[in-house]
Structure 1
Amino acid sequence: MAATEAAMASSSLSLETDTAPVLESAGTAAATAAISPATAAGATTEDPDTKSAMANKLLSLNGVFAVHKPKGPTSAELLNRLKEKLLAEAGMPLPKCNKRKKQTFKIGHGGTLDSAAKGVLVVGVGRGTKMLTSMLSGTKRYIATGELGKATDTLDSTGKVTEEKPYDKITQEDIEGILQKFTGNIMQVPPLYSALKKDGQRLSTLMKRGEAVEAKPARPVTVYSISLQKFQPPFFTLDVECGGGFYIRSLVSDIGKELSSCANVLELTRTKQGPFTLEDHALPEEKWTIDDIAQALELCSSLLPEETGLKKPKPEEPKEEKEESKEQALSCECVSLNEVKVEENVIQTC
């Protein structure tokens, strides 16, 4: 500690975070080496003009792209992780809620994936958040692995087993023979553990509290194609292409019942949403950078129909207003769109 103080005193440096560069002097190397890792993490040698340029580039991002969601986090948690990485790269502080302050940066996702699921998650930034609604009505494709013989309260492997039935007599031909019943325009009862709401609260939240929840009535959904990819009892793998509002967990559960048994989802991967595919368009976390997202937005803009194109940006604000805005904390709006009643499920947070 004494060595640290001596080194810093001899160099006459004032180490600051985020916006101020470390001045070059004969004692700089000694001072940098002597300070604690925590202090070093807060210091930066980056030119403030570079930080300003990155911040401006972040705020100029507009459009829709896709990220690769892993198993574990919820879609909202993943969006927050993405937001924090971008703000950190731009050298901008995390926003604080202030409804009076003009929103300057918007980010949102369209089409929630369960925490146990992985795959394509569509994200909108800037004016692109207004395009997320169209993503919900587009087609989606999933690879789902079901487990015969067990039913759970969540309809997937994360829930409590509520029923067990034999499955040893079920054959591959049996499964293939009933898939036609789940193709086309069909009626489907949504899971109790879902983002659907009752009295303004999600059914999944009410269920976790132990409150009694009635199942929502069956509603029309569309399955464009469904095929059996693999059958190794008790597991079976499906390739499903469907429209908005469709629940794979309900499908797998219904298939189990149709086979005089029961079933739950063991693994679920969304491989496609709208024009975005997991293989070609979904950015892994190591590419969640401002430059990589800018490139992805440029690529993805060619995938979207012309009628969903972004409007021209408003005229630039005067230079003096720009300079003033650099000194202000960034305001941020996060938008989350669920599969139903989109207009009622816009969530604004900071």
Structure 2
Amino acid sequence: MAEKVHGKLGHVLANTAAAKLFSLSGLFAVYKPKGPTSANVLNQLKEKLLAVVGIGKGTKMLSNILAGSKKYMAIGELGKATDTLDATGKVTEEKPYDQITKEDLERVLKKFTGDIMQVPPLYSALKRDGQRLSSLMKKGEAVEAKPARPVTVYSLSLQNFQPPLFTLDVECGGGFYVRSLVSDIGKELSSCANVQELTRTKQGPFTLEEHALHEDKWTIDEIAQSLEHCMSLLAVEPSLKKLKTEHSEESTVNCEDK
């Protein structure tokens, strides 16, 4: 009898949590640790939250948020190029880097600031015939590089230089790939480079330090509080405010990953 009562209680609590979750609407930021992909993190979040991660009309605002300004802290490694342009890939080339000075690096960074042209990585979420380029690459299919496209770098600075490693602070617009930036910097220095670590520190009005929800806080109540905080930031942006009132509620998942 005790087990039966416990089971009914658990079912009631689950239904209550689900009802509360479905009543929420908006956007909130989630912390993605190094290692798992964005899709992995979202799957974990869905399991935690009764398989629902899209929060109503907030999903309609994702394209605006993702297209906005974003900041990264990137650690690059000189002297090695990989097929994915980061540390997860296979080394495809090695070149000397001892001749590169801090001054050389700072000088080169000026060439990658402002409105520039950039070729996206082959291993990316961009698609060909409805399939991600990264998925096609993993299947062993031949993939041609996408043509260079215009992107914007609002600011780019060198934070640390301890060869072969260098740390960059980058603020850029939508469609920008830090992996391509680091690779291009290596080539500009007559060497090569790949990304060792990459952390997004800001997306639109959301910052990693103030707004990103860590896994130990993936509860209904914590998410409700995060939604309230994050949506208050969006209310001051006219385009997003208009979007909030125009679109109907919908639950979905949105992520971009290689």
Distance across 1 between alignment mates of 2:53 and 2:109: 41
1:106–1:129 Cα contact (<8 Å) kept: no
State which structure, 1 or 2, has the greater radius of gyration over its C-alpha atoms. Answer: 1
Aligned length: 252
1:126 deviates by 1.2
Q: Could you tell me which runs of 5 or more consecutive residues in structure 1 were left unpaired when the two chains were aligned.
A: 1-12, 23-42, 88-93, 95-104, 108-124, 315-331, 340-350
1:312 deviates by 8.7
Instruction: Give the aligned CA root-mean-square deviation in angstroms.
Output: 2.1
1:214 corresponds to which residue?
A: 144
1:56 deviates by 1.6
Distance across 1 between alignment mates of 2:246 and 2:172: 33
Is 1:139 the counterpart of 2:92 in the alignment? Answer: no
Q: Which has the higher helix share?
A: 2
1:106–1:126 Cα contact (<8 Å) kept: no
2:174 corresponds to which residue?
A: 244
2:117 alignment partner, SS class: strand
2:28 corresponds to which residue?
A: 65
Distance across 1 between alignment mates of 2:18 and 2:98: 60
2:113–2:156 Cα contact (<8 Å) kept: yes
Of 215, 218, 226, 1:296 maps to 226
1:256 deviates by 0.3
Of 236, 240, 245, 1:308 maps to 240
Q: Could you tell me which runs of 5 or more consecutive residues in structure 2 were left unpaired when the two chains were aligned.
A: none
1:133–1:337 Cα contact (<8 Å) kept: no
Of 174, 186, 204, 1:274 maps to 204
Distance across 2 between alignment mates of 1:313 and 1:170: 52
1:143–1:240 Cα contact (<8 Å) kept: yes
Deviation digits for residues 160-206 of structure 1 (CA, Å, limit 9, x no counterpart): 11111000010000000111100000000000000111111111111
2:27–2:59 Cα contact (<8 Å) kept: yes
Of 248, 262, 271, 2:192 maps to 262
1:53 deviates by 3.1
1:44 deviates by 6.5
1:132–1:337 Cα contact (<8 Å) kept: no
2:46–2:53 Cα contact (<8 Å) kept: no
TM-score (norm 1): 0.68
2:195 alignment partner, SS class: strand
Deviation digits for residues 112-163 of structure 1 (CA, Å, limit 9, x no counterpart): xxxxxxxxxxxxx111111101012110100000000000000011111111
2:110 alignment partner, SS class: helix
1:285 deviates by 0.4
1:148–1:264 Cα contact (<8 Å) kept: yes
2:113–2:152 Cα contact (<8 Å) kept: yes
Instruction: Report 1 or 2 for greater relative contact order, CA contacts < 8 Å, sequence distance ≥ 6.
Output: 2
Is 1:335 the counterpart of 2:258 in the alignment? Answer: no
Task: Give matches, 1:183-198, under 5 Å.
Answer: 183-198=113-128
1:68 alignment partner, SS class: coil
| Residue type at the aligned position of 2:252 | C
Distance across 2 between alignment mates of 1:69 and 1:271: 11
1:15 corresponds to which residue?
A: 3
1:86 corresponds to which residue?
A: 49
TM-score (norm 2): 0.92
Task: Report the CA distance shift for 1:47/1:136 in structure 2 as closer, same or farther (over 3 A).
Answer: closer
1:301 deviates by 1.4
1:54 deviates by 2.2
Task: Report the CA distance shift for 1:181/1:206 in structure 2 as closer, same or farther (over 3 A).
Answer: same
Task: Report the CA distance shift for 1:52/1:223 in structure 2 as closer, same or farther (over 3 A).
Answer: same
